[in-house]
Chain A
Amino acid sequence: DAGVTQSPTHLIKTRGQQVTLRCSPKSGHDTVSWYQQALGQGPQFIFQYYEEEERQRGNFPDRFSGHQFPNYSSELNVNALLLGDSALYLCASSFALAGLGVSYNEQFFGPGTRLTVL
């Protein structure tokens, strides 16, 4: 049983460019959350997807957008990259309580994508 997978593992971009990060959740999970983790900090919640819709969003600008596909995999897109977007981007999957669309359960994190913006 594969856990959460993310691609690519590392990425180098320049300011102003756009980037797409990908995530495949753990088998049986239907909810995907994305986090940004700066060096020495804890993960910061970007948004969560459930049933192909963005259900919750943290304090991130509209430059950050996402998508969830019917197979529950997800993408994180960041437009107009800034130097401050350099971070480890983590994807976490869980399963939502039936009928509630809310996940109180443990999250399984992927290994992350290290994004460097020059």
Chain B
Amino acid sequence: SQKIEQNSEALNIQEGKTATLTCNYTNYSPAYLQWYRQDPGRGPVFLLLIRENEKEKRKERLKVTFDTTLKQSLFHITASQPADSATYLCALGGKSYSSASKIIFGSGTRLSIRP
């Protein structure tokens, strides 16, 4: 069955450093991959979308890579700040009409940035 794995343990990073989060998937050929941020008690907030034919996407201090051979995406936050502390979710969407909208989420990685 389709599976998405994200770092199950919390990631603790010193302020100013680059945080790197990993998303691995199996038994799936996604058309696109999304990253979301979720704060406690709130709904996820969309950050970035990268398509299968794209290798890298950037938005301000955020960078996402997508390697369909390794079945892996890396999410980087450069010059991290305490305000970046949150849970980050990886989500995949499929290629077919039926799977494109049936987005599958990973369980998320909790990121803590210490001052």
Contacts and interface: CB of A to CB of B under 8 A. Distances in A.
Given A90-B44, A106-B49, A108-B46, A48 B107 contact: no
Interface string A55-75: 110100000000000000000
Q: How large is the interface on B (under 10, 10 to 19, 20 to 34, 35 or more residues)?
A: 20 to 34
Interface residues of A, number: 30
Contact of A56 (B32, B45, B98, B106): B98
B104 interface: yes
B105 to A, nearest CB: 3
B100 A102 contact: yes
A42 B107 contact: yes
Given A90-B43, A104-B93, A112-B43, A40 B107 contact: yes
A109 B34 contact: no
Contacts of B44: 43, 90, 109
